């Protein structure tokens, strides 16, 4: 038996990452020929549960209540544990959100199982599940299985196309069961959220385009001047007009610690590469980057890769980009912004 775990969003629905992980779970269920159960956690997971009744699950289990509406280790771990025990599953999959990545190892310990995070592939061979995962800063990919059960797996975004919740179960909709869980009063209380305005948010996982900035934006330009303010305006205008997600190389993010001029809207959360994130967008555009291995390793799952650089012999020109524009990024982005604004 397999178990798919997810937490509902504030409106009671499931996020795209959860639907992608569900699709991978459904595919594994078909490959192994075993049924799967869905477990949902949230303040009101009812809408999500209703949308999944025809997804092919044998059962749908929920743990609901105000205490489970917010991310909190104590409540999330307790809810996940009771759902796993109620399902009696040997393979448990979750979307690799920050909320699940935080609690999954602890849940595995409580169940006496094993946990693997950052799973980028899920399949079956000889009747056993197999997972793919990158190692050594994403330079080596391993395909492996484990004997220990239960085996808990955190599935990265983009592992499968988001599940289309059509009617996959001929014998009728799956029953929805509420699992009771009594908790002691939590020691931490969520009092609210602080988030940047929508036009100030630079990390957009669902964006079609990933725009990566390199350290060249803060270096001396052809006229011998540093133009950080102009670079900031160009990049922010492009993000606003294109609704792209912003990434950065490690060298640019680290400049602030070296006392050099920086782009103030960047942080380590924007970092892409072997020591940063490995985003999955349909298209990617790198600007003022060197195109060396530490930079491009984070682009492994980008569908179409393009780059702008004044150096025709840089790493991007040596097969790391599908298309390389040998041009001044300031001039190119200025013209692109002009066209987007029309």
Q: Where are the domains of the chain?
A: 2-178, 198-341
Q: What is the pLDDT of residue 170?
A: 43
Task: Please state whether the peptide bond connecting residue 150 to the residue before it is cis, i.e. omega within 30 degrees of 0.
Answer: yes
Tens of pLDDT, residue by residue over 123-181, are 999 999 999 998 876 678 899 999 999 999 999 988 888 877 654 444 456 789 999 99
Prediction pTM value: 0.78
Q: What is the pLDDT of residue 169?
A: 46
Contacts by 299-305 with C-beta closer than 8 Å and gap 24+? 299/212, 299/272, 300/138, 301/120, 301/158, 302/210
Q: Confidence class of residue 107 from pLDDT cuts 50, 70 and 90?
A: very high
| Contact criterion met (CB below 8 Å) for 232 and 261 | no
Average pLDDT over residues 297-314: 85
Q: What is the pLDDT of residue 265?
A: 86
Q: Is the pLDDT of residue 60 over 90?
A: yes
The reply to whether domains 2-178 and 198-341 share a CATH topology is yes
Q: What is the pLDDT of residue 342?
A: 87
Q: Confidence class of residue 216 from pLDDT cuts 50, 70 and 90?
A: confident
Fold that domain 198-341 belongs to in CATH:
Rossmann fold (3.40.50)
- End-to-end alpha-carbon separation of the chain, Å? 55
Mapped onto helix, strand or coil, the DSSP state of residue 119 is strand
More confident: 272 or 33: 33
Whole-angstrom CA distances from 270 to 18, 50, 61, 77, 82 are 22, 36, 36, 29, 36
Q: What is the pLDDT of residue 245?
A: 93
Q: Is the pLDDT of residue 81 over 90?
A: yes
Report the range of poorest mean pLDDT among 98-112, 158-172, 263-277, 280-294.
158-172
The answer to whether the Cα torsion of 117, 123, 124, 125 is positive or negative is: negative
The token duo for 263 is 């782009």
Average pLDDT over residues 107-111: 97
Q: Confidence class of residue 313 from pLDDT cuts 50, 70 and 90?
A: confident
Q: What percent of the chain has pLDDT over 70?
A: 92
Q: What is the pLDDT of residue 277?
A: 77
Mapped onto helix, strand or coil, the DSSP state of residue 247 is strand
What gap in Å lies between CA 265 and CA 340, rounded to an integer?
Answer: 22
More confident: 271 or 79: 79
Choose the CATH number for 2-178 among 3.40.50.720, 3.40.640.10, 3.40.50.1860, 3.40.50.620: 3.40.50.620
Average pLDDT over residues 307-317: 85
Q: Is the pLDDT of residue 36 over 60?
A: yes
Q: What is the pLDDT of residue 162?
A: 87
Q: What percent of the chain has pLDDT over 90?
A: 55
Which residues are CB-contacts of 320 (< 8 A; sequence separation ≥ 6)?
A: 291, 296, 299, 305, 307
């Amino acid at each position: 038996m397999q178990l798919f775990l997810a937490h509902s969003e504030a409106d009671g629905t499931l996020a795209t990452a959860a639907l992608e992980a569900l699709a991978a779970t459904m595919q594994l269920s078909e490959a192994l020929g075993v049924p799967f159960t869905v477990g949902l956690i949230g303040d009101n997971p009812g809408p999500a549960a209703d949308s999944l009744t025809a997804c092919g699950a044998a059962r749908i289990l929920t743990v609901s209540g105000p205490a489970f509406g917010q991310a909190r280790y104590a409540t999330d771990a307790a809810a996940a544990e009771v759902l796993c025990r109620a399902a009696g599953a040997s393979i448990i999959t979750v979307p690799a959100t920050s909320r699940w990545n935080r609690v999954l190892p602890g849940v595995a310990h409580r169940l006496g199982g094993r946990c693997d995070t950052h799973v980028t592939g899920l399949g079956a061979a000889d009747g056993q599940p197999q997972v793919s995962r990158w190692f050594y800063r994403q330079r080596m990919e391993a395909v492996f299985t484990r004997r220990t059960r239960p085996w808990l797996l955190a599935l990265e975004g983009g592992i499968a196309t988001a599940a289309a919740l059509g009617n996959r179960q001929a014998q009728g909709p799956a029953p929805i069961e509420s699992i009771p869980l009594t908790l002691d009063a939590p020691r931490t209380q969520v009092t609210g959220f602080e988030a940047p305005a929508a036009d100030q948010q630079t990390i957009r996982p669902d964006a079609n385009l990933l725009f990566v900035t390199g350290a060249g934006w803060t270096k001396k330009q052809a006229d011998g001047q540093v133009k950080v303010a102009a670079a900031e305006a160009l990049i922010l205008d492009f993000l606003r007009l294109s609704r792209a997600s912003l990434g950065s190389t490690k060298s640019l993010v680290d400049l602030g610690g070296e006392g050099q001029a920086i782009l103030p809207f960047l942080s380590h959360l924007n970092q892409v590469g072997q020591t940063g994130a490995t985003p999955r967008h349909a298209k990617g555009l790198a600007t003022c980057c060197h195109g060396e291995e530490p930079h491009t390793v984070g682009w492994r799952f980008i569908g179409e890769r393009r780059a702008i650089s004044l150096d025709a012999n840089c790493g991007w020109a040596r097969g790391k980009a599908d298309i390389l524009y040998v041009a001044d990024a300031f001039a190119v982005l200025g013209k692109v912004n002009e066209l987007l604004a029309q």
